[in-house]
Structure 1
Amino acid sequence: MLSRAIGAPRELVFEVFTQVRHLSQWWGPAGFTTTTRSFEFRVGGDWDFVMHGPDGTDYQEWITWTEIVPPERIALVHGESRDDPNAFESVLTFEPAGEETRIVMRTVFPTKELRQEAVEKYHAIEGGRQTLDNLAAYVAELTGNETTPKGTQS
């Protein structure tokens, strides 16, 4: 589980997480960029995209939305393609915290081995932290607020 306080109301944080015009500005770990091939934000809809690593490596990615409860919760399946047998499930909650929003990401892998590979080979925990930091920085730009790292892992 990862969490991060974002200095904006949850309606805005939810919007920034659910519209491709925003996602392409902040999605991914530090140094990564994202190219969207297709995007349909609805239950059963898909986001087909490529993440470009700072070393030039391209990573084919696919997300299917399985639950959407604006502005509270999003559930998704994330893999390399629509039928990826190693795809993992994530649930994101957007919790009001005063003038901020606490976003919490919980991810479940199909096996312990796949989780371990994600952590060790792909540095998933650090990458998740960096992605939430990018989200916070992007929202700060939109709102004109400064941001400081407030992520936690448990």
Structure 2
Amino acid sequence: MPTKTNREIYNERILQATLDRAYHAFSNPSLLKEWWGPEGFTNTIHEFDLRPGGKWLLTMHGPNNVNYENTSVFKTIKPQQLVSWSRTSKPLFDMEVEFIELNDSETQISFRMIFETASDCEKLRTFVGPKNEENFDRLEKVLLNVSV
């Protein structure tokens, strides 16, 4: 679904992958670390407790040699459907990642970032939207080698 309010950033992509493969690339930290974040970033995942109330702690290592600490708490886990979390490090927002099986070989993935205020959202919109697309580009490359 497209953005519903001026507090949201929404991106979606149709992946040439089964729902099982697409979800596995997210739910398996050893795969997730390979594609999470914009082009040029690498990740160290310190904790990935994929359950409601579980923590996700990671360090994103930027191409500029700056480390970005990310902390989040998972809210909703519906395997192969929806994963949501709240970031507890800045910038603060809620994130929803949705998986929709389109057919036997295609899956739609979407990112919905929900900010507290429209102002908070607008500060990041022009930067984050294109970076989410880079995330999807990286995911597509990882999916070429994922089997479940």
- The TM-score range, normalised by the shorter chain, is 0.7 to 0.9
Note if 1:126 corresponds to 2:135.
no
Note if 1:115 corresponds to 2:121.
yes
Counterparts of 2:124 and 2:88, CA distance in 1? 12
Which runs of 4 or more aligned residues in structure 1 lie more than 6 Å from their structure 2 counterparts after TM superposition?
A: none
CA contact (8 A) 1:7 1:140 kept: no
Counterparts of 1:63 and 1:13, CA distance in 2? 21
Q: Taking structure 2 as the reference length, what is the TM-score of the superposition? A: 0.86
Runs (5+) with no aligned partner, structure 2: 1-9
* Sequence identity (%): 25
Q: Taking structure 1 as the reference length, what is the TM-score of the superposition? A: 0.83
Aligned-residue CA RMSD (Å): 1.4
Question: Which residue does the alignment assign to 1:56?
Answer: 65
Structure 1 residue 32 displacement after superposition: 0.4
Residue by residue over 1:15-59, the C-alpha shift from the partner in whole angstroms, topping out at 9 and shown as x without a partner, is: 111121111111110000011122211111011111111111111
Structure 1 residue 79 displacement after superposition: 4.1
Equivalent position amino acid for 1:109 in 2: F
Counterparts of 2:51 and 2:139, CA distance in 1? 21
Equivalent position amino acid for 1:111 in 2: T
Structure 1 residue 119 displacement after superposition: 2.3
